[in-house]
A and B are shown apart, each in its own frame.
Chain A
Amino acid sequence: MAPRRGEKLLAWGLLLPCLAAVCAFAFWPIVYSFVLSLHRIVLGLPGLGEPFVGLGNYARLLADPTARSSAGITLVFVAVSTLCEVALGTLMALALDRSFRGRGLVRAAVLVPWAIPTVVASQMWRFILNDRYGLLNWLIFGDQVGSYRAWLAEPGWALAAVIGADVWKTSAFAALIVLAGLQTIPRELNEAAALDGAGSWQRFRHLTLPLVLPALAVALVFRTMDAFRVFDLVYVMTQGGPANATNVLQFYGYKKMFAEGFMGYGSAVSVMVFVMVLAVSLLYLRLVGRRLLRGDAR
């Protein structure tokens, strides 16, 4: 039976606020960023007007050595931090999936880093990594103050530190998703496999892993997309330094827009990040998502 017109109208009416919110807060900013990125807008120089420059900002972006190195840094950050987080998260989930006394408490405790606001966590890492009174130097070198290192002052170490802070903070999130996946695996399967003489590695490799793969994929997608947008860690810990070694794309775009006032160029940078995230998520969707969407994870 076809719904009556009144019902259709009601349906649209109820959907409207949600649609309006999505348009206002998701689509419009994306479209507007894209429109801005096609213009040359310099806040400090209104005399220049806001001329339409087509893809000029993108052409400059591709030739901009800072943007290129930022893109490279972002990719390194995304690849290393995501892999570490999912791997570590899986280990944590496997541990949490076992039954032991105080499991509830441990499960809650694991989430603590994730629950701490990023700004607070970043500030904490800055203190830990401080060259004179930081905890890390003390743990490694003890009283040998002469060997203390200025972690955040060395380009390689600073990037490693930012990645480390991200892994510390968000592995728990990956663990949570993987744990949810683990919980759906029936115990009997494991027991049956054990009866058939499968060792614990074999059971993990041929039973647990394939079954938990969809959850792993979800964790991977979320973490990758999130990692591309890394901003607050860099903002608090390094401000893009030392010598631009942690100047990830998002931070570069932010500096262009808000610190320097190049609205057009900065928008081009953020559209670029958007395109990269979109491309990666489409890729993931192709690789694993279809099976997930069909719901036949097995």
Chain B
Amino acid sequence: MGPVQSWFVPARPPCYSETVARLKTIAALGLALAITLGVAGCGQKADEPNTIRLVAWKFNNPGLWRRLADQFEKQHPPLKVALEIGPHSSTSYHDLLTQKLKNRSNEVDVFLMDVIWPPEFASAGWALPLDDLFPAEQRELFVPAAMRAASWRGRVYGAPLYLTAGVLYYRRDLLERYRLPVPRTWPQMVSQAKLITAQEKGDLAGYSGQFKQYEGLVCDMLEFVWSAGGKALGGEGQRCLLEGPAALKAVRFVRDALIGGAAPRGVLAYQEPESLSLFAQGGSVFLRNWFYAWPILNDAQRSQVAGKVGLAPLPRFSGGRSAACLGGWQVGLSAYSSKPTQALKLIKFLTSETVQRRLVLEEGLAPTRTGLYQDPWVLKAQPHFAKLLPVLEGARPRPRTPLYPAVSQVMQVYFHRAISDKDSDLPELAGRAAQDIDRLLGLAGGQ
């Protein structure tokens, strides 16, 4: 024990007394305790009764959240809105939000939910039902696909905030130059792309879309599967149907006719921004993307094809129906909120017609209320919205199960394997994916 002493109290003064030693001990212990408590104590925030905590996904224009909150505060004194804006990526935002809800945090009253989350959030008990806000006559005012996506087992868990869906962007100038109609079927689109790229000089690709291994791949691929008459999951009994002939046909088409065919192989690493920039730089004839691409493509500052772009529902396979994957966001109420009544006021405000109109006019976001698609103000500011309502009416939500994130992971790997290798054994890969998905669904069903 000698060494301890030597560095601990190097030069003990002669007047050193027991009392001083004891005092020192007490002081040191006190300090230690303070540090320990200080570490444990951070993270606890006082809960103010009039402050509603809103955890939001980040808009392209984050300032909009503060402006909406200001408007709400003006209309509902003395309520205040404390904003926490999460990441722009839906998956990262999901990590952040579920982490809070899992810990039953009272720092969330109201949160934004991606359109695919309600079954998970409802089943986990994180979101409270909002049935009072949505009696039958209210539900009718919203786009049906949005209401379907917001519900789970007959109850509504998300107030639809705004929508988006997959559409086909095409080069109007090129189609006109070759006297081609807007393609109605996928094979027609591919043959048009071949014709145009063979004639045009330079390095022009036929098709651009999102085929990286991530959530967007599922959206793009399901649109092909749906428009061939196939399905990912079937019925209330819920079984994976990716082995079905229609689904296989769609995946085979993407592998053989698009990847390495009409589309550059690089799309296998593309998310939305890369696919958009290829088209915006005049690098492809067709592009599958969400609604948000329209204003960007028509902004001469950001796009070399401004004014030369057309928008149409996605093509289909012969015998199938055009199907857009539904995206968008909803507002949910946390089960751990200490002030649900006040929180409901904010939710009601956010999905009111006034705010929906603001979202269109200021941000170009597609409203969830059907009526706004005939609104003269809206159509004057965004004439292309007239074309969006039919797309949304034919839009379909992604498979609905509390284990959607896990099901999606299996689909992402399956689709990416299937389309990235031109010799892939599709029935075998689909069979393995179906087996994994059925096991997940069994787990969910056995709850």
Contact = CB atoms under 8 A, between A and B. Distances in A.
A3 B213 contact: no
A255 B120 contact: no
Nearest to A235: B92
A17 B32 contact: yes
Given A43-B102, A131-B265, A243-B420, A259 B405 contact: yes
Given A10-B28, A46-B125, A244-B417, A146 B5 contact: no
A208 interface: no
Interface stretch (A148-156, A165-173, A182-190, A288-296): A148-156
A4 interface: yes
Interface string B1-44: 11011001100000000100110110011011001100100000
Interface in B31-64: 31-32, 35-36, 39
Nearest to B26: A13
A16 B37 CA distance: 12
A195 interface: no
Interface in A117-164: 130-132, 145-146, 148, 150, 152-153, 155, 158
Contacts of A10: 8, 21, 24-25, 28
A130 B21 CA distance: 67
A281 interface: no
A152 B271 CA distance: 12
Interface stretch (B343-351, B385-393, B439-447): B439-447
Given A153-B420, A243-B413, A258 B125 contact: no
A237 to B, nearest CB: 9
Nearest to B117: A44
Given A17-B32, A45-B444, A242 B269 contact: yes
B409 A46 contact: no
B296 interface: no
Contacts of A148: 266
B36 A20 contact: yes
Contacts of A130: 266, 269, 274
Contacts of A150: 264-269
A47 interface: yes
Nearest to A254: B95
B283 interface: yes
B266 A44 contact: no
Contacts of A105: none
A145 B283 CA distance: 12
B418 to A, nearest CB: 9
B278 interface: yes
B406 interface: yes
Contact of B36 (A2, A7, A17, A47): A17
A47 B406 contact: no
B431 to A, nearest CB: 14
B184 interface: no
Interface residues of A, number: 48
A241 B416 contact: yes
A259 B409 contact: yes
Interface residues of B, number: 58
Contact of B203 (A145, A155, A238, A255): A145
Contacts of A259: 91, 94-95, 405, 409
Interface string A1-33: 111101101110110110011001000000000
Interface string B312-340: 00000000000000000000000000000
A2 B1 contact: yes
A261 interface: yes
A2 B4 CA distance: 10
B421 interface: yes
Contacts of A240: 213
Nearest to A241: B213
A3 B402 contact: no
Contacts of B124: 43-46, 261
Contact of B28 (A14, A21, A42, A244): A14
Contacts of A14: 28, 32
A228 interface: no
A191 interface: no
B72 to A, nearest CB: 31
A43 B212 contact: no
Contacts of B71: none
B32 to A, nearest CB: 4
Nearest to B419: A243
Interface of A: 1-4, 6-7, 9-11, 13-14, 16-17, 20-21, 24, 42-48, 66, 130-132, 145-146, 148, 150, 152-153, 155, 158, 238-244, 255, 258-262
Given A10-B21, A241-B214, 14 more contacts: A3-B5, A13-B25, A43-B98, A44-B124, A45-B444, A46-B125, A48-B446, A131-B266, A131-B269, A150-B269, A241-B212, A242-B213, A243-B421, A244-B417
